[in-house]
Amino acid sequence: MINYDEVIAFLEKEGSDGGVVVRFKQAYQNFCETSKWLPAYEVFVAGWQQLDGVMLLEPANTLENDYHVHITAVNERSLRELLLAFPRRHIGLFHLTDKSIEDRIADVLEGESVQTDTGTIYRGVKRGSRTKAEQRAVSKRKDAIVSHIRKITSLKGKLEHSQFIAEGPLIVERAVADGLPIESLLYTPEFVSTADGKAFLGRAAAENLSIYQVSSGVMGSITTTRPVPPIMAAVHLSYPNFLSAAGHLNFRFGPRCLLLIAEDIANPDNLGMTLRTADAAGVSAVLLSHTGAHPFHKNCVRASRGAVGRLPLFQTRSITEAISALRSSGWSVFGATASAKNELYTTEFSRPIAIVVGNENTGLSVETRESCTALVRIPMASGQSSLNVGVAAGVLLYAFGQRHRI
């Protein structure tokens, strides 16, 4: 249940638009007196152990637009969570209060920016839920939608179109439930033959997603996964640079942020498990090196259990330059290595915090180790000298995160 007094306090503390806050306070006072919202606000919040973001949907009361949208978010994760929460099919007028929101909004919505007397407004709708959605059967392997999906199964196609593939009922259904910007859904007759499958497709159709029925043979021509998945989705996802052209952080953060940096993780399953762990630990974002497994790899997407798409992911060609920029901005950066003198549970730190994990076999590079604020090791009983990178990331993130929030 949303604590509206806490929401108002958060908006005032974070310096949200004064007129917006006043109107919402008046509407909330009316709600307290009558149990009715006038106007009929919808309120979304983000944050795990504390409130990190608020999105207010204020009715626009026009035929062309559904909501005036006001977002206040203190970090990348809360901003993305709120953008993903915006309901499909609806047209929003997003009042852009700073550049970081403008930079990220096109990752989730499609539309255009409009200059007004009061500032910049982005008018958009959730990607994949346009007014013209297709729902048809596809019988030919050369059909345009099949050709497009086949194209984005390659890394080149994924990067060219800023889309990745989610395969299988669990991952696809999570993608829809999480509000990811789904461009299209493909399913086989086997999927719709079950009550659960039929109900899911009904919900997807109600959200105006483009849905295509294909034969198992056509599905098998798209993916090398065996057995052939009964459903897959093409999901929009950008993969922005962590640093701007000038070398500054292209990343929205606050003093309580926790960032994971992954250097050259080679195995896509390991990378996916690491991202899943980072998501569960509540990190603000993950920074990945340009070497190693790609987060759009289908094995990584599967192993991440929904973290790819929901979690803000950034890339860099130089981990050391990224670490330098973080430290210059007041971050403490800790590299994990078994040879470190400092033990995890006794290491002192200041906020915000970034944790760096490395390659499964070689660990952190020499340059990265030398760039960190300090190096730490996870204490282990005799018999093992290292942990799987996903497990190590979990131990580090939860240990630092627990102390970080005290």
91 closest CA partner among 55, 133, 120, 131:
131
Identify the CATH number of the domain in which residue 18 sits: 3.40.630
Q: Is the Cβ–Cβ distance between 42 and 7 less than 8 Å?
A: no
Q: Is the Cβ–Cβ distance between 249 and 323 less than 8 Å?
A: no
Kindly state whether residue 383 falls inside one of the protein's structural domains: yes
SS3 annotation, the chain: CCCHHHHHHHHHHCCCCHHHHHHHHHHHHHHHHHCCCCCCCEEEEECCCCCCEEEEEEECCCCCCCEEEEEEECCHHHHHHHHHHCCCCCCEEEECCCHHHHHHHHHHEEEEEEEECCEEEEEEEECCCCCCCCEEEECCCCCHHHHHHHHCCCHHHHHHHCEEEEECHHHHHHHHHCCCCEEEEEECHHHHCCHHHHHHHHHHHHCCCCEEEECHHHHHHHCCCCCCCCEEEEEECCCCECECCCCCECCCCCCCCEEEEECCCCCHHHHHHHHHHHHHCCCCEEEEECCCCCCCCHHHHHHHCCHHHHECEEEECCHHHHHHHHHHCCCEEEEECCCCCEEHHHCCCCCCEEEEECECCCECCHHHHHHCCEEEECCCCCCCCCCCHHHHHHHHHHHHHHHHCC
Q: Is the Cβ–Cβ distance between 352 and 390 less than 8 Å?
A: no
> What digits encode the pLDDT tens for the residues 191-202?
999 999 999 999
> What digits encode the pLDDT tens for the residues 345-369?
888 888 899 999 999 999 999 999 9
> What digits encode the pLDDT tens for the residues 46-96?
999 899 999 999 999 888 999 999 999 999 999 999 999 999 999 999 998
Same domain, 393 and 263: yes
Confidence check: pLDDT of 401 > 90: no
Same domain, 302 and 325: yes
Same domain, 345 and 364: yes
Same domain, 183 and 65: no
pLDDT, mean of residues 31-37: 94
Same domain, 268 and 307: yes
Kindly state whether residue 247 falls inside one of the protein's structural domains: no
Q: Is the Cβ–Cβ distance between 147 and 157 less than 8 Å?
A: no
Sign of CA dihedral 221, 223, 226, 228: negative
Kindly state whether residue 149 falls inside one of the protein's structural domains: yes
Confidence check: pLDDT of 219 > 90: yes
Domain boundary among 75, 109, 126: 126
Same domain, 104 and 210: no
Kindly state whether residue 242 falls inside one of the protein's structural domains: no
- Measured distance CA(126)–CA(111) in Å, rounded: 9
Domain boundary among 126, 159, 179: 126
For residue 77, give Cα distances in angstroms to 88, 246, 336.
20, 24, 23
Kindly state whether residue 249 falls inside one of the protein's structural domains: no
Tokens coding 220: 């098998």
pLDDT computed for residue 62 by the predictor: 87
Tokens 């500032």 label which residue? 119
- Measured distance CA(85)–CA(44) in Å, rounded: 7
Confidence check: pLDDT of 406 > 60: no
pLDDT, mean of residues 165-189: 97
Same domain, 292 and 223: no
Kindly state whether residue 10 falls inside one of the protein's structural domains: yes
Q: Which domain, by its residues, includes 157?
A: 135-236
Q: Is the Cβ–Cβ distance between 75 and 52 less than 8 Å?
A: yes
Q: Which strands sit side by side in the sheet containing 67-73, from one edge to the other?
A: 42-46, 53-59, 67-73, 92-95, 119-126, 109-116
Same domain, 79 and 143: no
Kindly state whether residue 299 falls inside one of the protein's structural domains: yes
pLDDT computed for residue 405 by the predictor: 59
pLDDT > 90: percent of the chain: 83
pLDDT computed for residue 404 by the predictor: 60
pTM of the shown model: 0.94
pLDDT computed for residue 3 by the predictor: 96
Same domain, 37 and 121: yes
pLDDT > 70: percent of the chain: 99
Kindly state whether residue 364 falls inside one of the protein's structural domains: yes
Same domain, 100 and 141: no
Domain boundary among 236, 267, 285: 236
Listed range (221-225, 327-331, 347-351) with the worst mean pLDDT: 347-351
Tokens coding 405: 């929030």
pLDDT computed for residue 210 by the predictor: 96
> What digits encode the pLDDT tens for the residues 99-122?
778 889 999 999 998 888 777 899
Listed range (82-91, 141-150, 273-282, 397-406) with the worst mean pLDDT: 397-406
pLDDT computed for residue 402 by the predictor: 77
Same domain, 288 and 329: yes
pLDDT computed for residue 242 by the predictor: 96
Confidence check: pLDDT of 181 > 70: yes
Identify the CATH number of the domain in which residue 281 sits: 3.40.1280.10
Q: What are phi and psi of 23, to 5 degrees?
A: -65, -40
More confident residue, 317 or 343: 317
Q: How many domains does the chain have?
A: 3
pLDDT computed for residue 52 by the predictor: 95
Identify the CATH number of the domain in which residue 213 sits: 3.30.1330.30
Radius of gyration of the chain (CA): 22
pLDDT, mean of residues 250-256: 90
Same domain, 221 and 277: no
- Calculate the average pLDDT of the chain: 93
pLDDT computed for residue 144 by the predictor: 95
